Amino acid sequence: MGRPTSRKKSPIAKAIAELRARLGETQASMAVKLGVSLQSIARWETEAAPHHMHLTRLWLLAREHGYKDLMKVFYGRINQLQAPDQRKVEAQRAQYDRWGKIQNTVIDVMQEAQQLSKEGHPAAPRLADLASKLISLTRAAREWSWGNL
C-alpha cells in the first residue's frame, strides 16, 4: 500500500504555510529569510514543528506584519515548551526587540535630518547619509544576532 496522499496538518504547520503565503514567499525564499534549508520549511509545513529558535522567529514575523491570528498559534506552541526553552525564547524576543528600538531611534535621526534639510541646514545631507548607513547596519546586526544566540 502506498503512502497516504493527504495527512491532517497540525495548527502550527497550517500557520507556517499561511504566514509564508501572506508574506508572498515561496518555500525557498522563506528558507532564506529564516536561515534554514528548503527541506526544513517543507517539513514544518507538513509534519515536524520547528525548533524554539525558529518558532520565535515565525512569531516575530507574524507580529511585525500584524497577523494576530498566526501570532496566537505560534505563541500557543511556545507556551507548550519546557521552561528552559521558554527562557531562551524570551531572551531571543528581548534581543530582537532591543535591536528594533535601536533601529527606530536611528530612523528618528533620519527624520530629523530630513527636517533639517527642509530648513536648509548645511549638515543635513551628511546626517542623512550617516543615518541611512546606521539603519542598514542595525538591520544587519539584528539578523546576525539570530544566528548567534
CATH number of the domain encompassing residue 30: 1.10.260
Are 58 and 118 members of one domain? no
Question: Would residue 93 be called left, alpha or beta, if left means φ above 0 and alpha means ψ between -120 and 50 degrees?
Answer: alpha
44, 103: one domain: no
Are 15 and 75 members of one domain? yes
Express each pLDDT in 33-88 by its tens digit. Answer: 888 899 999 999 998 889 888 898 899 899 989 999 999 999 999 888 888 888 88
pLDDT at 26 (0 to 100): 96
Does residue 92 share a domain with residue 72?
no
Same domain, 74 and 134: no
Whether 73 and 91 map to the same domain: the answer is no
* Amino acid of residue 12: I
pLDDT of the residue at 146: 64
Nearest CA to 61 out of 74, 49, 46 is that of 74
Flag whether 138 is in a domain: yes
Same domain, 70 and 123: no
Query: Quick one: 87 and 130 in the same domain?
Result: yes
Tell me whether residue 3 is in a domain. no
pTM: 0.69
E strand or H helix at 41, and its extent? helix 38-44
Average pLDDT estimate for 119-147: 85
Residue 63 and residue 104 in one domain: no
Domain span at 66: 11-79
Residue 45: predicted pLDDT = 95
- What pLDDT, on the 0 to 100 scale, is given for residue 149? 54
Distance of CA 31 to the CA centre of its chain: 12
**Total number of domains constituting the chain:** 2
pLDDT value of residue 4: 54
Nearest to 102 by CA among 114, 91, 94, 112: 94
Domain assignment present for 32: yes
Q: What's the CA gap between 129 and 114, in Å, rounded?
A: 11
Q: What is the pLDDT of residues 94-112, one digit of tens each?
A: 888 888 888 889 889 889 9
- Residue 148 is predicted with a pLDDT of 59
Q: Which of 61, 79, 97 is the last residue of a domain?
A: 79
Closest CA to 13 of 38, 42, 36, 46: 46
